[in-house]
Amino acid sequence: MTERAVLEATELNKRYGDLHAVRGVSFHIDAGETYGLLGPNGAGKTTTIAMVGGLLENDGGQVLIEGEPMTVHTLDPRRKIGLVPQDLAIYPDLTARENLTFFARLYELGGRRLKDRVENVLEVIGLRDRADDRAGEFSGGMKRRLNIGIGLLHEPRLLILDEPTVGVDPQSRNAILESVEALSADGMAVLYTTHYMEEAERLANRVGIIDQGEIKAEGTRRQLVQMVGERDRISITANGPLESVVSDLRALSGVQDVGASDGQITLLVEDASALLALALETVAKNGASVSSVVVEEPDLEAAFLHLTGKALRD
Amino acid sequence: MKTIWNIARKDLALRSRDRSIFIIGLVAPLALAFIFNLVFGGSINDVGESVRFEYGLVDLDQGDVALAFGDVMANLESEALISVERFGTEAAGRTAVEDGTVDAIIILPADLTSRITSGEPAKLEVVGNVDSPTGATIASSIAERFSTGLASATDAALTAVATGVVDPTGIAEAAAEAGALPPLATVVDIEAGIRQLDAATFFVAGLSIFFMFFVAGLGVTSMLEERRDGTMTRLIASPIRRSSIIAGKALTSVLIGLVAMITLVITSTLVMGANWGRPLGVLLLIVSAVLAVVALMSFVGGLAKTAEQAGNLQSIVAVTLGMLGGTFVPISDPTSFLGKLRFLTPNAWFLRGLADLSGGSIADTLPAVAVLALIAVVFGAAALSVARRVVTT
Ligand SMILES: Nc1ncnc2c1ncn2[C@@H]1O[C@H](COP(=O)(O)OP(=O)(O)O)[C@@H](O)[C@H]1O
Ligand SMILES: [Mg+2]
């Protein structure tokens, strides 16, 4: 945690009757950081977000937004949050522009600034030429984009996206992921829940793996993968004295294992990007010539499977 | 306040795109009032030119004042405007009214002359027939006119008696010039209420308030809809008070109710010749009625879990109160148990207020306005507490 986190959630708990839906969930997000909450349906992602956004009373725990406590009764911290609900929350009988204008006013935007922000968001979500059409006439992807756009109007410090790409066509999905990347690059903190491994891998600086209301593990993708003993794999296809190459490679620090067969050398390493140059140099030094190199970083899939005993599939 | 208006403005925009509100709030009451007036209007209010009103006179006084009143009636009879039948007892007179043999009876109480001569307040009673609102109204105005004339005359005569100029028995004959003095004899109009409204006004007023119930419930229903459609989540996530959401919804209902009612008043006046009465009084009644109905329907709707359930509950309450309140047809016996029960409904108080307005001054509507305001306050408070439950994700 650097200086003061944009969001700091501590020991959040929520019970629905007998169901302990969220159990002692803690995490923090810094400015410019994207935190991925990755877990299957029913894991407690939406419930966690509802407590973070001050929508739902918690049964213990604390939420701080830039140091300010957030409860269901506090209004001030809400100005710093842009919350994009999992289910579409737009008025189908209003146009895109009317939807944006209405919600912008709830965040005390007015006058020139209101107009500017609405135009800007229309641009960002790519709905400028459909701004005056009723939202009900939009495609699923366009509705999703509008749903997200509403959360951006007041330029929040923390953007919360709850499974924003569910049921979206690939093109819209890509547009959504790109805009999240851009917002993060601008310094916005993002809390992104998903049950898609690829999205968490692509967007999140850190990932929390949540299952049955508990965060099972948390860290960068690399940390998570290493936690369960998965390693990067470098495959080099080369001609030449491969035996000496292999023994030299084995001597390098950070290399776990090396094997060779049919002119292909496979290395299991802790960090492929740190070791790749050195490995290629070693091959060349031994007088072998490289014809192809493939670097495979193990995905979260394996880590997830290991941590939860579940495959992350719909 | 800005937030409340922002929410109300959004809801008004949404509603204005939804044709059903025009149908429920405006087209239905107007069309039905028009049809009701065609079908039932004649039997309730037949003011044909050839019609002569038949009145009964129950003279329990037999004194000078009664004699003078008899002369007034005889005069009108000779002009072929009315016909007069005398009844020996009050009971006989009332039976005749109930049977419809006469349009109204006027009862001169036993102590009329003695009260008038001693300067005490006295009252003439007018009992009107249910099916002849106009006949009853005219009987009242005859009695009213007489008592007003009597008042000024009595006043002059009393002065004369006091100064010894005239002997007390000559007072009745002294009835001549009328000043602007208050009447000594109050005319008690037993059949006040809806009967003083003409048929067109009665139907359009009754149906307007009936359909208002459906329009007035939209605020709560839309809160339940927002919860169902997920937009409530957004409202709660934004930095606004939950009470602002409720206030915005209530404001929407009240505005829609007011616009619908005012439009109905204007349209029915222009198209159907309805006669609502003095605008200020009508406005007072409309505002208090709209507030009462919005409060009542918000409470009822707030008890429901879903928008559909709320709509059903509200319909049941609207129809029940509409029937009970004598909205569709005048209640045949207003003195019966059922007839009295109607005053549990805002509908009856609204119609009563309008009737009082048409028969009197704006001040006469105040009891009805007060009752409607009370309903608004009581159910408004109850609605507020149930509505808080609805403002959740
Ligand atoms: N309002 C509620 N009442 C009762 N149970 C609920 C409610 N909301 C969610 N749950 C349950 O809590 C668990 C977590 O749900 P949720 O937070 O929506 O998970 P996710 O968003 O990860 O799919 C699920 O088992 C779900 O059925
Ligand atoms: Mg969810």
CA atoms within 13 A on the CB side of A78: 24
B113 and B14, same structural domain? no
A88 touches chain B (CB under 8 A): yes
Q: What number is the average pLDDT over the span B112-137?
A: 79
In percent, how much of chain B has pLDDT > 70?
81
Place B41 in a pLDDT band, splitting at 50, 70 and 90.
low
Residues of B in contact with A108 (CB under 8 A): 239
What are the Cα distances from residue B308, in Å, to A132, B2, B91, B245, B393?
Answer: 30, 30, 53, 20, 18
Q: In this structure, what DSSP letter does residue B1 have?
A: -
Residues of B in contact with A89 (CB under 8 A): 229-231, 233-234
B207 and B148, same structural domain? no
- Top residue of A72, A73, A102 to mutate, by most chain B CBs within 10 Å, is A102
The predicted structure's pLDDT at residue B178 = 33
B363 and B265, same structural domain? yes
The predicted structure's pLDDT at residue B51 = 53
Q: Which two tokens stand for residue B259?
A: 């616009």
Q: Which two tokens stand for residue A173?
A: 């999905």
B320 and B172, same structural domain? no
Whether residue B188 is predicted with pLDDT greater than 60 in this model: the reply is: no
Place B189 in a pLDDT band, splitting at 50, 70 and 90.
very low
Cβ distance A14 to A37 under 8 Å?
Answer: no
Q: Where are any strands of DSSP class E within chain B?
A: 53-59, 82-87, 104-108, 122-128, 185-189
Write out the H or E segment, with its range, that includes residue A7: strand A7-16
The amino acid at B376: A
State the virtual CA torsion across B62, B66, B70, B72 in degrees, nearest 10.
170
B125 and B269, same structural domain? no
The predicted structure's pLDDT at residue B70 = 84
Nearest CA in chain B to A90: B231
Q: Is position B190 within any domain?
A: no
Q: Tens of pLDDT along B191-209? A: 433 345 777 788 888 888 9
B233 and B118, same structural domain? no
> In a structure prediction context, what are the per-residue pLDDT tens digits for chain A, which is 314 residues long?
446 799 999 999 999 999 999 999 999 999 999 999 999 899 999 999 999 999 999 999 999 999 999 999 999 999 999 999 999 999 999 999 999 999 999 999 999 999 999 999 999 999 999 999 999 999 989 999 999 999 999 999 999 999 999 888 888 889 889 989 999 999 999 999 999 888 998 999 999 999 999 999 999 988 887 776 777 888 899 888 888 888 899 888 888 888 887 788 888 888 888 889 999 999 999 988 898 998 887 777 777 777 777 666 54
The predicted structure's pLDDT at residue A103 = 97
Q: Is position B188 within any domain?
A: no
Cβ distance B254 to B294 under 8 Å?
Answer: yes
CA distance B239 to chain A (A): 5
In the 3-class helix/strand/coil scheme, how is B341-386 assigned residue by residue? HHHHCHHHHHHHHHHHHHHCCHHHHHHHHHHHHHHHHHHHHHHHHH
Q: Which of A235-239, B126-130, B332-336 has the lowest mean pLDDT?
A: B332-336
The predicted structure's pLDDT at residue B28 = 78
Cβ distance B276 to B282 under 8 Å?
Answer: yes
Q: Is position B191 within any domain?
A: no
The predicted structure's pLDDT at residue B196 = 56
CA max distance for chain A? 74
What phi and psi values does residue A95 have, to the nearest 5 degrees? -75, 170
Domain ranges, ordered by start, for chain A: 7-226, 231-297
B161 and B176, same structural domain? yes
Please tell me the total count of domains within chain B: 2
Q: State whether B238 and A107 contact (CB < 8 Å).
A: yes
Strand partners, A219: A207
CA atoms within 13 A on the CB side of A93: 13
B234 and B103, same structural domain? no
Residues of A in contact with B2 (CB under 8 A): 105
Taking the C-alpha atoms of residue A54 and residue A63, their distance in angstroms, rounded to an integer, is: 9
Taking the C-alpha atoms of residue A152 and residue A131, their distance in angstroms, rounded to an integer, is: 16
In CATH terms, the fold of domain A231-297 is Alpha-Beta Plaits (3.30.70)
Whether residue B157 is predicted with pLDDT greater than 80 in this model: the reply is: no
B352 and B267, same structural domain? yes
The predicted structure's pLDDT at residue A130 = 95
The predicted structure's pLDDT at residue B165 = 43
Rounded to the nearest whole angstrom, what is the distance from the C-alpha of residue B212 to the centroid of ligand 1? 40
Place B154 in a pLDDT band, splitting at 50, 70 and 90.
low
Q: In this structure, what DSSP letter does residue A80 have?
A: G
Whether residue B48 is predicted with pLDDT greater than 50 in this model: the reply is: no
Q: Which of A64-68, B223-227, B264-268 has the lowest mean pLDDT?
A: B264-268
A54 touches chain B (CB under 8 A): yes
CB-closest option in B6, B10, B231 to A89: B231
Q: Is position B149 within any domain?
A: yes
Taking the C-alpha atoms of residue B281 and residue B355, their distance in angstroms, rounded to an integer, is: 11
Tell me what ipTM this predicted complex has.
0.81
Strands A81-84 and A158-162: parallel
Residues of A in contact with B15 (CB under 8 A): none
Q: Which of B236-252 are b and which e, b meaning 16 or more Cβ less than 10 Å from the residue's Cβ?
A: bbbbbebebbbbbbbbb
The predicted structure's pLDDT at residue B329 = 63
- Chain center to CA of B274: 14
Residues of A in contact with B10 (CB under 8 A): 91, 94, 98, 102
The predicted structure's pLDDT at residue B248 = 94
Question: Helix, strand, or coil here: A161?
Answer: strand
Contacts with B, A 262-291, CB within 8 Å: none
Q: Which of A253-262, B86-95, B144-153, B220-229 has the lowest mean pLDDT?
A: B144-153
Q: Which two tokens stand for residue B357?
A: 């307005």
A118 touches chain B (CB under 8 A): no
The predicted structure's pLDDT at residue B167 = 44
Q: Is position B115 within any domain?
A: yes
Q: In this structure, what DSSP letter does residue B24 have?
A: I
Q: Is position B226 within any domain?
A: yes
Domain's final residue, options B126, B146, B180: B180
Q: In this structure, what DSSP letter does residue A244 have?
A: H
Q: Tens of pLDDT along B70-81? A: 887 887 777 666
- The dihedral built from the CA positions of residue B90, B91, B97 and B100, taken in this order, carries a sign that is negative
Average pLDDT, chain B: 79
Strand partners, B85: B56
CA distance A235 to chain B (A): 50
What is this structure's pTM? 0.71
The predicted structure's pLDDT at residue B152 = 58
The predicted structure's pLDDT at residue B81 = 67
Cβ distance A176 to A148 under 8 Å?
Answer: yes
Q: From the CB of A39, is ligand 1 less than 6 Å away?
A: yes
B103 and B25, same structural domain? no
CA distance B344 to chain A (A): 39
Q: State whether B239 and A78 contact (CB < 8 Å).
A: yes
B226 and B371, same structural domain? yes
Rounded to the nearest whole angstrom, what is the distance from the C-alpha of residue B57 to the centroid of ligand 1? 79
Q: State whether A106 and B235 contact (CB < 8 Å).
A: yes
Nearest CA in chain A to B242: A73
B112 and B34, same structural domain? no
Q: State whether A93 and B233 contact (CB < 8 Å).
A: no
Q: Which domain holds residue B57?
A: 53-180
Q: The domain A7-226: what is its CATH number?
A: 3.40.50.300
Q: Where are any strands of DSSP class E within A17-152?
A: 19-29, 34-38, 62-65, 68-69, 81-84
What are the Cα distances from residue A21, in Å, to A15, A17, A86, A214?
Answer: 5, 9, 17, 9
